[in-house]
Amino acid sequence: MKYFFYIIICFLNIYNSVAQNQPEVVVHNFDSFEPLISHKDDKIYVVNFWATWCAPCVKELPYFEEINKNYKTQNVEVILVSMDFAEHLERRVIPFIERNNLLSKVVLLDDTNSNFWIPKVSEHWSGAIPATLIYNKNQRKFYEKSFTYNELENELKTFLP
């Protein structure tokens, strides 16, 4: 019996440590998400809309990760906005984040009223992904396209002082 409790305690400790290392992904409706695309501070925000099922999105994610790594010290924040269904968060999105070692901030936008919120992101957005918004307090650019690293970096540089 003593060994049984010991095994249970060990299992719980392992479970807790694994659960604590799981990436945190906040699920937003558009009302709680909107502040992420309307900051008025001194940062430059690179906001990429993607999904685990979107091949062009997945292909370009490493470029956003590189931007995050290379420009974090220059007051640039990358936000990866998953368009996956909220019910796929635990089964698809979090394992995808772990498998691909995504270190940028990841949120999941779960709002079915896309006719309302898509034009608030950009009046030029058809709703297709991948899509990217780069903005700071002075300017805002929206791209409904895939990026190479060089293209993304060149666009970011137009925002740098």
Q: What pLDDT is recorded for position 55?
A: 98
The amino acid at 15: Y
**pLDDT tens figures, 101-154:** 999 999 999 999 999 999 999 999 999 999 999 999 999 999 999 999 999 999
Q: What pLDDT is recorded for position 12?
A: 40
For the stretch 54-59, contacts whose Cβ atoms lie closer than 8 Å and that sit 24 or more positions apart, written own/partner, are 54/83, 54/129, 54/130, 56/129, 56/130, 56/146, 57/129, 57/130, 57/146, 59/146
For the chain, state the CA radius of gyration. Answer: 18
**pLDDT tens figures, 32-90:** 999 999 999 999 999 999 999 999 999 999 999 999 999 999 999 999 999 999 999 99
Distance, CA of 93 to CA of 38 (rounded, Å): 25
CB crowding 8-31: b at 16 or more within 10 Å, else e: eeeeeeeeeeeeeeeeebeebebe
Q: What is the mean predicted confidence (pLDDT) over 3-20?
A: 41
CATH architecture of 24-157: 3-Layer(aba) Sandwich (3.40)
Q: What pLDDT is recorded for position 6?
A: 35
